[in-house]
Structures are given as structure tokens and as C-alpha cells.
Amino acid sequence: MFHLFKRNKSDLPNDPKALIKYNFKKQLDVHKYHLPNDIILPKGMKNSIVEKLIRKRKIAPIYPSKEPYCDDDKICMICFQTVRQGMNTLRCCKGKRFICTLCLLFHPKFNLGQCELYCDVCQVVTKVYISEIDIDREITKIVNQPKEEYNEIDLLEVIKKSQRNELKTPSFANVRKEVIDKFKELGVEMRSDISDDAYNLLDVNKMTDPDMAMAMMMSLC
């Protein structure tokens, strides 16, 4: 469903911790997920395919972030980085091996179609799934970060940025009505980083299903 109308400012939580939790849970809702614009995928791998897998919760989402993490977060076995919004886990090795999505996609033995990876420890092909996320534990970590890393000014900026993002909605004022109606009919959210003129180039008669609509929209990027 389109976000063509402004969210009421009163709908946002007033308590800082509640607002952080609200934003974090919103990131975990991936049914309308889009890859960040600066993400570079392996050659021949399409953004739309990866986004579809993330929306179906086959692999973890990618959220570039500079925020610090605690020592007990799950660590990627390739790049040794942590991802608060979810890490991919191998079903072998007692579920103790984790890999972030970028490292997974670039892994030479990852099967994108089957979401399987060859484990060099067990020497078997194993399914990949998303590790469980303890939301309350992660929120506690964020709120209790050291002052020099997450002070009151930073917290205020997070709140202001969140409110700006909530109130900033694309109008698509100059997009043809039949284009907007077609996306709405197919249940595909229009991306705000694509210009109205670009949307007007689309032939709605070729948008036969959600996948085709998504592919045609991605071709405009």
C-alpha cells in the first residue's frame, strides 16, 4: 500500500527508548525492503533477485551502519563484522557459524537459487537461515552505549531524523495516474528515488504481475 499521505506526527513514540525500538522493529519489517543505493553486488547478480530473497526472509537484510556493537553480537565468519538487524546462520556446525549477507553473496560456493552454502568445516552443502534477533536485548545495547559513542545529542538527532523520515513522503505528483494505479493494484511500492519523468516512461500494459512491475521499476534506477 502506498504511503501517499503524511503520517500524523502524534503517531510517533515520544519516549526516546520507545522511538529507538519503533525504528529498529521497522527495520526488521522487510516486506518492502530495498537494497541501499551504494551496495555493489557480484557481477551478473540482480538487485531484484536479492531483494526478493530478503523480503521472503530467505537471507538477512543489508543495512549499512556506523553504530558500535557489543562484544557478544554475532560475528561474520568472513569479515568479522556484526549486523544488528540479522545474520545468516549455517544449519551445520550446530548453528554456531554466522555470515553477513554481503559476504554470503560474494562467497564462491553460495547457491543463490537454493540459498545453500558449502561449509568448509563440515564439508557438506547446508541451508542458510536468518538467526533469531532478541529485540529487547538489542535495544538495551543501543540505549546503554557509552556516552562518548551515543550521547544525548546523538539521541536527539536520531529522534529528529526519524520524525523527518516519517513525515517525508513521496507525492508522485507528476506521475501519470494509470501508472500509480497499476503499482497500487499489484501491491508494489513505488521507489521515491526514481523521478516522476522516469515513471511516466513505463508501459502499464506490460506490467502483468508484481514481479514484472518490480523489474520494470528497477530498470529505471
* Domain extent listing, the chain: 16-145, 177-219
* 13-37: average pLDDT: 75
* Of residues 111 and 96, more confidently modeled: 111
Paired residues of 75 in beta bridges: 82
Higher-pLDDT residue of 180 and 82 is 180
The single residue listed with the C-alpha cell 542458510 is 128
Rounded mean pLDDT, 123-137: 82
Please report the sign of the dihedral spanned by the C-alpha atoms of residue 46, residue 132, residue 75, residue 16: positive
The pLDDT confidence band at residue 86, using thresholds 50, 70 and 90, is confident
Most confident of 45-59, 60-74, 118-132: 45-59
Q: Which amino acid is at 61?
A: P
Give yes or no for residue 1 having a pLDDT over 50: no
| 139-153, 157-171, 174-188, range with the lowest pLDDT | 157-171
- Cα–Cα distances in angstroms (integers) from residue 107 to residues 47, 78, 79, 166, 181, in the given order: 17, 9, 12, 36, 40
What's the predicted TM-score (pTM) here? Answer: 0.54
At 52 the pLDDT is 92
User: At residue 5, does pLDDT exceed 50?
Assistant: no
Quote the mean pLDDT of the chain: 76
Greatest Cα pair distance in the chain: 56
Three cell numbers written together for 144: 546503554
Strand order in the sheet with 116-119: 98-99, 88-90, 124-130, 116-119, 110-111
